[in-house]
Amino acid sequence: MTVTSPDSTAVGGRPVVPARGALRPLGQDEVRITGGFWHARQEVNAAATLPHARSWMDRLGWTGSFTGPDAAPVDRRGREFTDSEVYKLLEAMSWEVGRGGVALEARIAELTGIVAAAQASDGYLHTAFGRPGQRDRYSDMLWGHELYCTGHLLQAAVARARTGGGQADPLLAVARRAADHVCDTFGPDGTPGVCGHPEIELGLVELFRLTGERRYLDQAALFVDRRGHRTLPRHHFGWTYFSDDQPVRQTTVLHGHAVRALYLAAGAVDVAVETGDDELLRTVAAQFDRTWARRTYLTGGMGSRHADESFGDDFVLPADRAYSETCAGVAAIMLAWRLLLATGDGRYDEVIERILYNVVATAIGDDGRSFFYAHTLHQRTAAEALPDDEEQLGFGGGPRAPWFEVSCCLPNAARLLAALSCYLVTVDDTGLRLHQYADAEISTCLADGREVGLTMRTGFPDDGVVTVRVTKTDDRPWSITLRVPQWAEGAELVTTYGRRHVSAGDIVVYRKFAVGEEIRLELPMRPRFTAPDPRIDATRGCVAVERGPLVYCAEAVGDLDLDSLRVDESVPPVDTAAGVAVRARFDVPGAESWPYGRAEPRSATTPTTSLDLVPYHRWARRGPSTMRVWLPAT
C-alpha cells in the first residue's frame, strides 16, 4: 500500500514529509499533545530548555561567531560544529511555534538575522572557515563539519517554513542559498568530497520536499553514493568511524560512530523513498534490524564505546561503560520513523517507544536545564553534580550537566520534544494508525480526503488504559488501528461491541464510527523480568525489570552497595506504592587480595528483603547515587 502525500511542498509542522510510503505523517496542526507524560516535558522544553540553550550559546560565544562574511570573529570559541547547535535551536524554536506553545517568532527572527549576516555572497555559511585569518573552506573535510552544519541549517529552515514562515521566510532564503552553494561545489562536476559527519543528506532531501527543487535531492543521493570509498583522509579512528569504510549499499550492520551512522542511514532512507530505490530501502532496513538485534542496549540506546562514540562489535554492550549518546537516541528515532513511514511495519513503533521512554525521557533534568550526554546503565560510584554555571568538558557518565563542551544533545532532544506530536498518529490507506499513546487531540483528513477527529486519553506509561474517542466522522466506515506492544501480554480491547483479548501487533477497528464513540485499549502494566541474549557477555547472569515500556533500575542514594546485590529471580517483581519491588539480598564479600581464584570468594549474605526499583528515566534526580539496570540473579 502506498499513501501519497497530498502536497509534498505543503507547509505544515512536521519534520519528514515523504512523497510516498505506507503511511502519511500528520502535522503539528493535526495532532496536539494535550497532557500527561510528554506534555509536561514539552512545557519544560519550551519554558526552560530553549532559553537555557540560547543563554549558553550566547555566553560561550557560539551565536557571536556569526559575524559578517568578510570578518572572522575575533578569537572564535567552541568546536567546528557550534553553528549546528544554533541551527538545532532554531529548529526546536520553530517546532515550538508549530506546537502552539510559547510565542517565539520574534526570537526566531532575531536569530535568523544573526545567522543571515554571516552568509557569504555566494551562499557559503560557516563561522570557522573561509574568512580572513581562517582556514580555507572545505580544507578539513574530516573534522570541519561544514556540510554537517549546513544540513542542520536546512532542517531548521524547513521547520520554520512549515510552522508559519512559509516559502518566503528569510531563514529559508538563507538555506536555499547555502544549499545551492553546496550543490554548486559538490555536484556531479564539482569536488567529489563527503563531510566527515553525515547530516547534509537529511537537510537536502527535506529541502527538496519543501521546495520541489530536484537538484537538492540529486545532491543528497550523490553524497549517499559517494560515501564509503575512503575519500576522507586516514585517521586513527579508521574510516569506519566516519562511515566512509564501505558503501551504504554494501553495509550489513550499522557501525562506526553511532550518530554518524544513524544520520547517514536516515538520509539514505529519504533518498531511497524519493527516488523509488527500494533496494536501498531494504538494505538500510536490514542494517537497522541487525543493529537492533545485536548492538542495542535494553533502553534502545546505541553506541557502546566511549573512545570513539561508536557501535561496538556485535553483543559488546557493557552496562557500566554504556555510551548510548542522547543524540544517537534521537537519530535512531529519526531513522525508525522514516522506516515506519516507508514500510508501515509496526516494529518501528516499539523502537521509537523504547528510545523515547528510556533514552529521551532520561536525558533531560526535571528543570530542563541539565542533561545527559551519555547514558550509562550502571553507575558504580556516585558523582556530584556540577554547579549550574559550569560547563562539563567530558562526555561520559556522571550526573546531568548544565552544558557540555560538545552540547549537541540538548538542542537535539529539544527539537524532537517540540515536534513530538508528529510521531503519534499517521494516515494509512483506510484510516488512522495510532503509534504512540498520549493525551492528544487529532484532527485530520483520511487518505480519501474525508475529515475525521479523535481524542486519546491515557495515563501512559504508568497506566496502560488508552481511551480513544471519535470527535469527528462521517457516515462511511474507516479504520482506527491501535498498536499492542510485544510487552503487553493479556491486552484487551473494549468497544461498543464488547471486550476481547488482543495479541501483540496492529489491531484494526474498521467500521462506521459515531461521534462520541469510544474504543478502550487496556495494556497490562505488570512488572516483568527480562533476560539478555547469552551472547551479551556484560550482562550474563543478570536480569532486568521492565514495566510497560519502561526499563527500571536499582538506585542507591545512600549506602546500599549495589555491587553486592543479588536478586531472587524466582519471585516475580511486584507493583508497590513506591513503584516496583524485587526480592533481593546482598552478598558482602570477604577479605580481598587477588580477585581471581579456584572458586568464588566466600561472602556473608544478608537476608532477602524487598528492594524498590525506579524507572530508569527517573534516576539521578535525587542527588549523587549509584545505579544499575542489570541485576545479578541469585
Handedness of CA 132, 83, 86, 15 (dihedral sign): positive
Q: What is the DSSP letter of 312?
A: -
Q: Which is nearer to a copy of itself, 241 or 513 (CB)?
A: 241
Among 106, 498, 570, 598, binds a copy of itself (CB under 8 A): 598
* Residue 77 binds to a copy of itself (criterion: CB under 8 A): no
Q: Per CB under 8 A, which of residues 388..407 are in contact with a copy of itself?
A: 393-396, 405
Considering the complex, state which of residue 294 and residue 483 has its C-beta at the smaller distance from a copy of itself. 294
Contact call for residue 531 and a copy of itself (CB under 8 A): yes
Q: Could you tell me how many residues of this chain bind a copy of itself (CB under 8 A)?
A: 68
Confirm if 466 and 476 have CB atoms less than 8 A apart.
no
Catalytic residue among 85, 91, 96, 309: 309
- Considering only the stretches 35-43, 78-86, 191-199, 377-385, report the one whose residues sit in contact with a copy of itself under the rule CB under 8 A: 377-385
- Rule CB under 8 A: choose which of 366, 448, 463, 533 binds a copy of itself: 533
Q: How far is the CB of 566 from a copy of itself (least distance, A)?
A: 9
CA 253, chain centre distance (Å): 19
Q: Measured over all CA atoms, what is the biggest interatomic distance in the chain, rounded to whole angstroms?
A: 78
Environment class of 56 (CB within 10 Å of its CB; exposed 0-12, middle 13-18, buried 19+) = buried
**Taking CB under 8 A as the rule, does residue 314 contact a copy of itself?**
yes
CA distance 168 to 539: 54
How many angstroms separate the CA atoms of 81 and 89, rounded?
13
What x-and-dash track marks residues 334-353 binding a copy of itself by CB under 8 A? -------------x--x---
Among 7, 307, 497, 498, binds a copy of itself (CB under 8 A): 307
Question: Is there binding between residue 333 and a copy of itself (CB under 8 A)?
Answer: no
Q: How many residues are present in the chain? A: 634
Whole-angstrom Cα distance, residue 107 to residue 282? 42
Residues between 459 and 518 with contacts to a copy of itself, criterion CB under 8 A: 486
- Asked if 374 and 344 count as a contact pair (C-beta separation under 8 A), the reply is no
DSSP 129: B
Q: How far is the CB of 621 from a copy of itself (least distance, A)?
A: 22
Q: Is 235 in the site for a copy of itself (CB under 8 A)?
A: yes
CA torsion sign for 475, 422, 259, 66 is positive
**What is the pattern of x (binds a copy of itself, CB under 8 A) and - over residues 101-140?**
----------------------------------------
Cβ closest to a copy of itself, residue 190 vs residue 233: 233
CA angle 627, 629, 634 (to 5 degrees): 100
One symbol per residue from 605 to 634: x for binding a copy of itself (CB under 8 A), - otherwise; what is it?
A: -------------------------x-x--
d(CA 222, CA 244): 14
Shortest distance (Å) from residue 300 CB to a copy of itself: 10
Q: Known catalytic residue: 325?
A: no
To the query of whether residue 309 is one of the catalytic residues in this protein, the response is yes
Please state at what angle helix 347-355 crosses helix 326-343, rounded to 10 degrees.
160
Distance of CA 461 to the CA centre of its chain: 18
H-helix or E-strand spanning residue 282: helix 278-294
596 touches a copy of itself (CB under 8 A): yes
250 binds a copy of itself (CB under 8 A): no
Q: What are the beta bridge partners of residue 466?
A: 458, 521
Taking CB under 8 A as the rule, does residue 234 contact a copy of itself?
yes
Q: SS3 for 80-100, per residue?
A: CCHHHHHHHHHHHHHHHHHHC
Nearer of residues 378 and 617 to a copy of itself, judged by Cβ = 378
Tell me the sheet residues that pair with 392: 404
CA distance 628 to 414: 27
Residues tagged active-site: 309, 408
Residues contributing to the site for a copy of itself (CB under 8 A): 234-238, 289-290, 292-294, 296, 298, 305-307, 312-316, 318-321, 347, 350, 378, 380-381, 393-396, 405, 486, 528-542, 544, 563-564, 587, 589, 592-601, 603, 630, 632
